[in-house]
Every structure is written in structure tokens, then in C-alpha cells.
Amino acid sequence: MKITFILPFAGITGGIKHYFSIANGLVDLGHEVNIVYPGKLFPKQNAIWRVERYFRSIKYFIEAQKGNEESSKWFKLKAKIKKVPDLSEKYIPDADVVIATANETADWVEKYSKSKGEKFYYVLDYETWARSKEDVDKTFRMPLKKIASGTWQKDFLENDFKQKVYGIASPAIDLNTFKPASEKKQYNRILMLYHPLPYKGVSDGIEAFNRAKEKFPDIKLIMFGVQKLPLDLEKLVDKFYFKLPEEKIAVPYQQSDIFIWPSHREGFGLPPLEAMACGCAVITTNSGAVADFTDKNCAIIVPVKDSEAIHQSLIKLLKDQSLQRHLGQNAIKKASNFSWDKQVKKFEKILIENL
């Protein structure tokens, strides 16, 4: 098949990494895959759009937009990728399948002629942080064939928007990259992702860590991310991994014992799964698709926006090294069900069966 993914940008985010990985897997299966992303997502309103993004504090997204030219090289991409002036049909190759990704791209895909391919919409999240709720909701009602990335997206589309969902294709991980390190665990190294957006819940995790450090002064905080740490965190963090290349992306997990994922909302939430594959004992909020890949035997799941629950879970793990080992070992087994090989074949099957 000839398959085209329409992306809003090509910067370093978990969602873009996911689309790139799916595209690579489809290439490996023998398909011709093109990725197209725009210099201007909304050509007539681009300045207004950027201002709106800024005042919604989505600085991360804006920086990714500005870095498109270079950031398309941060991933070892097998599919062809092309930056175009905008997403007008004249810039889109003819194909068997065309796939809208983030909601901003659905507006364009809906208008394409049949020559661009059967129209699908791969839904990772409910992106009301990106545009108004009304605009986002409108995209879900478009006559595009919906693919969900998790159970909650499927239920959401079916129940709230009365849409047929043609299948679930979850994000996945490269098990050759995300695997346990051979070094002996120390039981005191705590890992978190740094992200400036409030809904990532970093402040909840930091509060839980600081309180735990009062009882366990030897614990160390490790962080990673693509945004520089603010000064207050620089003083707290023992080691920070900044913009790691793909070949070293698993290093923070492999050098840590406990991973805290305090996010308030997610589309899927890949980092906890990556941490599980590396044998970390994971404390995660019940956000995104956590319920699809965790259970009480391989992670500690706490309510969102509950720093006290994170704190108590962290204390529990620091007191009980056997529990850390138990969760870490079970997590490795659980994560093995989410290999790219399995998930890409699911995605391919959905496309083939619905052409």
C-alpha cells in the first residue's frame, strides 16, 4: 500500500515519535510510506494561532514548531518525510490511505479528493489544549475512519460522539532499546520526566520526592526531558538527561530504580511503559491508557492530582526493596506485550480490512 501520514509538525514529542515509529514499522512490512507536515498549519491565521498557543502556555509546542527543520532529523526515520508550505491537496501525494493525526490535520484531510486515499483519523488524545473544544469536537464528527490508540479513546468516540471505531492500535516500545541494565539495583534512584506543562503533574512528583527525602536522605532524583530545567530544580536534581539521542533514550530508565509518572492527563502515556520494560518499579497516575498496560502486580496506580498518594507509594517502595524487585520483574513481562512488531501489524490489519 501507499500510505500518507499528515502531521501537524515534526518536533520532538511523544506523539510524533509514535507516528514515526508506526511509519517505520509499515515500511518494514513492505509499504510505501510518506510523512507530510506543514511550514504553516493554518496559513491564513498562523500568527493568531501562535499567539493563542503562547497564552495557553504551550511553549513546548511552539518551540517544536520552530524547530521543525532540524527536529525531523532526531529520529532514524525509514519513511519519506517532506515539509510543505501548508497541507493543501496539491502538496499531498496520491496514495491508497491518508491518515489524519492531531486534530488540526483532520480539517485538511476531510477535504482531500479520493486520489489521496481512503481517509483515516488516528486519535491519540482529546486535544482541547490545542484548539477550542468546539473545533476539536467537530473533527471527531467528520466522516473519517477512526482508529483509537487505547480503550479510553475508543469508548470516548463511541459513547460521546457515536462514531464507529475501526480498531485499536496502541503505542508500543522497541524492546531491543528498552530493556533492563545489567548493573545491580541501588533502590534509591528516583526518575521523573521534566515537562513544563502543568498537566504533566511534575510539581506533584517533586512534592512527593521532597517529602520522601526527609525520611530517606540518600535518595537521588534523576530527570530527563527536551526542555531545560528551571533553576529551582537544577539544585534538587542529581542528574539531568537533556535531549538524549535515540540510541541513548533508555539510559535514564536503566540507571533508575523507581519511576514516577504524575501526569494529570495523557493520550496514552508511553514513559511508564518504557520504564516498565527497563525493570523500574513504577508509580503512575491513572491517566491516559495506563489501565491498558498496567495492573497492581506490575505498578502502583494512584489517582491524578494526588501528591500524597504518590508520596505514600514512594515511601512504601523505599521501605520494601523486595516489592521494588517484584514490581520491576513483573513489569518487564507485561511490557513485552507492547512490542512494535505486534502493534504495527494490528495497525496494518485495520487499514487493509477497511479499504
CATH of residue 218's domain is 3.40.50.2000
Residue at 275 is within a domain = yes
Residues 271 and 284 in one domain: yes
Residue of 214, 231, 219 whose CA lies nearest to 191:
219
Q: Specify if 313 maps to a domain.
A: yes
Q: Are residues 62 and 129 in the same domain?
A: yes
Do residues 189 and 220 make contact, with C-beta atoms less than 8 angstroms apart?
A: yes
Is the model's pTM score more than 0.75? Answer: yes
The rounded distance, in Å, linking the Cα atoms of 110 and 120 is 9
The C-alpha cell at 71 is 527536529
Same domain as 282, residue 246: yes
Residue 328 and residue 280 share a domain: yes
- The verdict on residue 184 lying in a domain is no
Grid cell 500500500 in the structure block, residue: 1
Q: Is residue 121 part of a domain?
A: yes
Burial 219-254 (b: 16+ CB within 10 A, else e): bbbbbbbbeebeeebeeebeebbeeeeeeebbebbb
Q: Which three cell numbers stand for residue 122?
A: 488516528
Task: Give the C-alpha separation, 220 to 237, whole Å.
Answer: 7
Q: Count CB atoms within 10 A of the CB of residue 32.
A: 15
For residue 116, count other CB atoms closer than 10 A to its CB.
Answer: 20
In a domain, 177, yes or no: no
166 located within any domain: yes
Do 38 and 147 fall within a single domain?
A: yes
Are 166 and 200 contained in the same domain? no
Whole domain around residue 216: which residue ranges? 189-335
pLDDT digits (tens, 9 = 90+) for 257-266: 999 999 999 9
- Predicted pLDDT at 167: 97
What pLDDT was estimated at residue 64?
42
Shared-domain flag, residues 280 and 343: no
Residues 154 and 221 in one domain: no
pLDDT score, position 51: 53
Total domains in the fold of the chain: 2
- Residues 188 and 216 sit within 8 Å (Cβ to Cβ): yes
Same domain, 140 and 219: no
Q: Is residue 181 part of a domain?
A: no
pLDDT for residue 107: 94
Q: What is the DSSP string of 122-189?
A: EE----TTTS-HHHHHHHHTSSSEEEESSHHHHHHHHHHH---EEEE----B-TTTS---SSPP-S-E
Identify whether the C-beta of residue 99 lies closer than 8 Å to the C-beta of residue 19.
no
202 and 113, same structural domain? no
Same domain, 237 and 292: yes
Q: What is the pLDDT of residues 216-254, one digit of tens each?
A: 999 999 999 989 999 999 999 999 999 998 889 999 999
- Using CA atoms, how far apart are residues 257 and 251, in angstroms rounded to an integer? 12
123 and 257 co-located in one domain: no
CB-based contact 39:86 (threshold 8 Å): yes
Is 281:190 a contact under the CB 8 Å cutoff? no
Q: What is the pLDDT of residue 44?
A: 47
Give pLDDT tens digits along the chain (355 positions).
999 999 999 887 888 889 999 999 999 999 999 999 998 665 444 454 455 544 444 444 444 444 444 445 678 899 999 999 999 999 999 999 999 998 999 999 999 999 999 999 999 999 887 788 999 999 999 999 999 999 999 999 999 999 999 999 998 999 999 999 987 778 899 999 999 999 999 999 999 999 999 999 999 999 999 899 999 999 999 999 999 988 899 999 999 999 999 999 998 889 999 999 999 999 999 998 999 999 999 999 999 999 999 999 999 999 999 999 999 999 999 999 999 999 999 999 999 999 9
Q: Residue 223 falls within a domain, yes or no? A: yes
